[in-house]
Amino acid sequence: MRKMTPRRKLAIATWGSPHEGNIYGKLTVDAGEAVRYLAWVRATTGEKVTITHFVGKALANALATAPGLNGRILWGSYIPHDSVDITYLVSLEDGADLAKAKIDHLDRKSVTDIARELRELAGRLRAGKDPDFEKSKGVIKLLPTWLLAPLVWLTGWLASSLGVSIPALGVVKYPFGSAVITSVGMFGLDEGFAPPTPFARVPVLVLVGALRDAPAVVDGQLAIRPRLTITATIDHRFLDGHEGSRLAKGIREVFADPWGRLEGLQGPPEGA
């Protein structure tokens, strides 16, 4: 029998037949200004910022204006979070395993801040120096899947709904925040959809596709522009059409004008 990674074991223990009421959505945006903005940030700061960092910032800004999505459900009632916290998924062991890196108050941080913090968190995870992750991984490896399933459900409810930390298991309160982001573009995929993750208990799971040059109509003329597809799996208990339109609008606005939305500038600076 092949030895299972913690990620595979967790998937077997927690996923069953779909029964959640989820919405699946796709947003394709012109990424020309975002690409130009990221090149400027890299040139002025030396930080390796990517489109995935940018999507996290755009999503956080949008969540800050859509309070119906930035929260949790407890005892059948919706409770908003005090901050916009977002989790990035980090690939470990050449893709054999995954870990989470949560960034708090992401809407208040710059793309450069996000890149630096994520790099530091990912470095600790890959070096085996994140104590909470090492504890949780040890528990997952130790328990059989039939016992792991109810334990994960219980700890997920305690941590993500009640806000309880369980230090012995490496579980912190609100471990995933309000959204989870991962990239499939790094694998060359244009788009994909994340499966609902019951134990994470987040309203939104976002996948970032690959940047592709594609034909587009700009000011009535055909042009080749960088295009990006962002897909989302959304818990329908949180989102309706109105909230969804606000979320999409907020993300589009950041992509259309990163200079104004993120830097407070009237267009790109000279040399950008």
For the domain that residue 249 is a member of, what is the CATH number? Answer: 3.30.559.10
Say which amino acid occupies 254.
Answer: V
Domain tally, the chain: 1
| Confidence bin at 1 (pLDDT 50/70/90) | very low
Specify if 54 maps to a domain: yes
Contact 36, 225 (CB under 8 A): no
Specify if 270 maps to a domain: no
Separation CA 206–CA 57 (nearest Å) = 12
> Could you tell me the residue range of the domain that residue 94 belongs to?
6-14+21-260
What are φ and ψ of residue 48, in 5° steps?
-85, 85
Separation CA 190–CA 212 (nearest Å) = 8
pLDDT in tens, 19-41: 667 888 899 999 999 999 999 99
**For residue 250, what are the contacts with CB-CB under 8 A and spacing of at least 6?**
58, 61, 62, 63, 65, 66
- Beta strand pairing status for 179-183 and 97-103? unpaired
Specify if 61 maps to a domain: yes
Specify if 254 maps to a domain: yes
pLDDT in tens, 147-167: 888 888 899 899 999 999 988
Specify if 271 maps to a domain: no
Supply the pTM of this predicted model.
0.89
pLDDT in tens, 58-99: 999 999 988 778 888 888 788 889 999 999 999 887 777 888
